[in-house]
């Protein structure tokens, strides 16, 4: 039974790193558990690991870093849970492919290992990373990701500001362009929000909720506490023009 916590962000205004989600994290990762932390999305994995260790110390969780071991797939097998951190999604996915962790994580999570992701770590839980906000600073061998959920997530979702003078595309417009060529729902998670999956159940939690986009359907507001379990049954279709 899959157990997932997919965070939009790691830091909420006025709070320490992961402070806003510690209660949720402790439900998936009990005290004295060992978490394999994957900091591949960051250019400074040592510092990122130190920050993560400090953040999880109040709930007595031990953090082991994937980038410090010679065999990260073996380290994953020995862990109680996995946490994939944020940063650049393209850098992260490229490293997951290169280390063999992509297939290993998919297998372990399918067997019941809890999966926690933030930002880029939530992006790679989807079938593809095509709904990331990041610049492609490196070219992965494929955009295919873990596919732990059958729909797409857009972390750090920002509502369009009608008073803005910015001439670039708004986030809703970018997602609409994605849907022109791909038939799969996109859940935009605002800052401070997350998706919690437990087996066949899924819900949006946190403080700000999100917005659900789908082809040929008006976007729908998703308040905190909304059950979105129906999304776990969708069948994504990519590269299929409307």
Instruction: State the catalytic residues.
Output: 119, 134, 156
| Eight-state DSSP code of residue 100 | T
**Alpha-carbon 132 to chain mean position:** 10
Answer for the pair 228, 4: CB distance below 8 angstroms, yes or no: no
Q: Quick one: three-class SS letters along 180-192?
A: HHCECCEEEECCC
Q: What is the CA radius of gyration of the chain?
A: 17
Q: How far apart are CA 213 and CA 220, in angstroms?
A: 7
Q: What are phi and psi of 107, to 5 degrees?
A: -70, -45
* Residues 6 or more apart whose Cβ sits within 8 Å of residue 237: 182, 183, 184
Q: Which residue has the tokens 């946190």?
A: 206
Q: How far apart are CA 31 and CA 103, in angstroms?
A: 27
């Amino acid at each position: 039974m899959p157990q997932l916590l997919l965070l939009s962000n790691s830091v909420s205004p006025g709070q320490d790193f992961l402070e806003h989600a510690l209660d949720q994290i402790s439900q998936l990762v009990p005290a004295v558990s060992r978490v394999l932390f994957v900091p591949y999305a960051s250019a400074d994995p040592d510092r990122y690991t130190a920050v993560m260790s400090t953040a999880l110390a109040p709930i007595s969780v031990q953090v082991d870093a994937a980038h410090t071991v010679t065999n990260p797939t073996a380290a994953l097998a020995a862990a109680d849970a996995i946490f994939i951190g944020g940063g650049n999604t393209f850098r992260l996915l490229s490293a997951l492919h290169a280390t063999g962790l992509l297939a290993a994580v998919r297998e372990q999570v399918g067997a019941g290992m809890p999966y926690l992701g933030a930002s880029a770590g939530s992006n790679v839980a989807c079938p593809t990373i095509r709904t990331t906000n990041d610049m492609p600073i490196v070219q992965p061998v494929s955009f295919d990701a873990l596919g732990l959920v059958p729909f797409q997530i857009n972390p750090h979702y920002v509502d369009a500001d009608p008073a803005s003078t910015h001439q670039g595309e708004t986030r809703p417009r970018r997602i609409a362009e994605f849907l022109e060529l791909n038939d799969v729902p996109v859940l935009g998670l605002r800052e401070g929000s997350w998706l919690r999956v437990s087996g066949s159940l899924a819900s949006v939690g946190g403080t700000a909720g999100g917005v659900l986009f789908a082809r040929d359907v008006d976007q729908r507001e998703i308040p905190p506490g909304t059950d979105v379990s129906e999304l776990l049954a969708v069948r994504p279709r990519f590269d299929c023009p409307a």
